[in-house]
Amino acid sequence: MLFLAVFCGFLAEYQLEHKIEKDRETILAQALFEDLKKDTSALHMAILFSDIKLNACDTVLGMLHRPRNNWNDTSFR
């Protein structure tokens, strides 16, 4: 009888642990999804920033290849 009680306790604990892990899985999946959205947004902003700076560098390099009296230093950020 004692063996049966211990065995049933083990099964109940196993079921409870399975349920807790399932709940934790849902929470972690949601957190991962939110992190991916934030990272994607940050990456998009970094790409836009890089494009702006690369265009400014191209403008400066183009300006440097022209005679100095033709330079327009207000055309880049």
Retrieve residue 38's tokens: 């934030």
Report if residue 14 sits inside a domain: no
Report if residue 17 sits inside a domain: no
Report if residue 13 sits inside a domain: no
Q: Which of 54, 50, 38, 48 is nearest to 62 (CA)?
A: 54
What does the alpha-carbon distance between residue 14 and residue 6 come to, in Å, rounded to a whole number? 12
Retrieve residue 76's tokens: 């880049």
Report if residue 62 sits inside a domain: yes
Residues 70 and 49: beta-carbon distance below 8 Å: no
Convert the pLDDT of each residue in 7-59 to its tens digit.
Answer: 899 999 999 999 999 999 999 999 999 999 999 999 999 999 999 999 988 88
Report if residue 1 sits inside a domain: no
Q: pTM for the whole thing?
A: 0.59
Q: Which residues span the domain enclosing 58?
A: 24-77
Number of domains making up the chain: 1
Report if residue 53 sits inside a domain: yes
Report if residue 59 sits inside a domain: yes
Q: What is the pLDDT of residue 15?
A: 93
Give, rounded to a whole angstrom, the gap between the first and last alpha carbons of the chain.
Answer: 82
Instruction: Write b or e for each residue in 56-66: b if 16 or more Cβ atoms lie within 10 A of its Cβ, otherwise e.
Output: eeeeeeeeeee
